[in-house]
Amino acid sequence: MLRACRGEPVDRPPVWLMRQAGRYLPEYRRVREGVSFLEMCRDVDRAVEVSLQPIDLVGSEAVIMFSDIFTPIPPLGVELDFAPGPVVADPIRTAAQVAQLRVPDPRESVPFVFEILRRLRGELVDRQIPLLGFAGAPFTLAAYLVEGGGSRDFAQLKRMMHREPDLLRALLEILAEMTVGYLNAQIEAGAQVVQLFDTWAGLLSPAEYGEWVQPFHVAIARQLDRAAAPLILYVNNGAHIVDFMADSGADVISLDWRVELSDAAQRYGDRVSLQGNLDPCELQAPPERIAQRVAELARAGRLARGHILNLGHGCLPSTPVEGVRAFTAAARAL
């Protein structure tokens, strides 16, 4: 995994899945019983247990710490709940609200995150399995904070973009500062790779992406301890902005299924490694079909300096465990 991130030679692409620790696993649902999602994120024992589950249960070759992109948000001074997606009690819409946000030292405000990482690293070091940390990117975090929750078109966010651009920029700058400190603290606690999730940045036109997203990715990539941990950048629905992703400074760009992997490999594969990009819904297919798709993706990925087999978005609650096993087994059989 680490070699693939850096574009060094490997025998075959490593495999893991976004949202591999989650509700499609009965074993996850059992650990999650009786606690809220936020409690679970703060419960070091439970978080460590579900982070490790995908190694043996589905054959994943990397561990992503169990947490959420919203874990570092409440300490900024934002009241937040999950139902089941994030819900912000008081959506951020005014300059006074932005002025009140504070960026505390994450080691003090969310110490459990780093305890989870240290424990996981201790468990994984002998098994030679890499540990991933992660954070939400400023645009995606801002989208939820301004909107108050998930949305189809994020009209409130776009309203702020067009009516009060300076306010949105101030919010994004605070979130970028938080993200840099948070990811560097994760690397210090043992994360060997970090992934930045910008799930909603694909909502924007290329010109808007260049103004509202790219400068923050570039700034974050520049300020991370990348010698210690390579950076993976994920954008969903971003087929129109892959040029930007490749120029962001990330070591790996994580693509969804709307991008043809062989095209991306030919265009960008000498500069960045690629991650992806099976539609999670394809894990519903019979195992032979999944194996064929893995072989196709791996063939395309060989045109790039490095490739990590993964999905184009996270496992869904309805994803069949058998499909996930077929995916990792096919990777190992390459």
Binding site for ligand CP3 (CB under 6 A): 18-23, 32, 37, 64, 66-69, 82, 84-86, 134, 150, 197, 199, 236, 314
Distance of closest approach, residue 128 Cβ to ligand CP3, in angstroms = 20
For residue 196, the cross-strand partners are 135, 233
Distance of closest approach, residue 115 Cβ to ligand CP3, in angstroms = 16
Between 265 and 324, whose beta carbon lies closer to ligand CP3?
324
Q: How far is CA 59 from CA 15, 53, 63, in A?
A: 9, 9, 11
Between 21 and 113, whose beta carbon lies closer to ligand CP3?
21
Q: How far is CA 43 from CA 30, 66, 67, 227, 241, in A?
A: 15, 10, 10, 30, 38
Between 197 and 257, whose beta carbon lies closer to ligand CP3?
197
Q: Tokens 């249960």 appear where?
A: 57
Between 184 and 310, whose beta carbon lies closer to ligand CP3?
310
Distance of closest approach, residue 127 Cβ to ligand CP3, in angstroms = 18
User: DSSP assignment, residue 127?
Assistant: G
Q: CB of 330 within 8 A of CB of 298?
A: no
Specify whether 68 is catalytic.
yes
Of these residues, 28, 46, 119, 144, which one is catalytic?
144
| 17/63 Cα distance (integer angstroms) | 9
Contacts of residue 191, Cβ cutoff 8 Å, sequence gap at least 6? 65, 117, 131, 132, 133, 183, 229
For residue 277, the cross-strand partners are 310
Specify whether 258 is catalytic.
no
Distance of closest approach, residue 58 Cβ to ligand CP3, in angstroms = 11
Q: Which tokens belong to 126?
A: 């002998």
Of these residues, 6, 12, 19, 299, which one is catalytic?
19
Specify whether 32 is catalytic.
yes
| Burial class, 195, CB count within 10 angstroms (exposed 0-12 / middle 13-18 / buried 19+) | buried
Q: CB of 231 within 8 A of CB of 221?
A: yes
Between 9 and 84, whose beta carbon lies closer to ligand CP3?
84
Specify whether 42 is catalytic.
no
Distance of closest approach, residue 176 Cβ to ligand CP3, in angstroms = 17
Of these residues, 6, 12, 43, 68, which one is catalytic?
68
Catalytic annotation, residues:
19, 23, 32, 68, 144
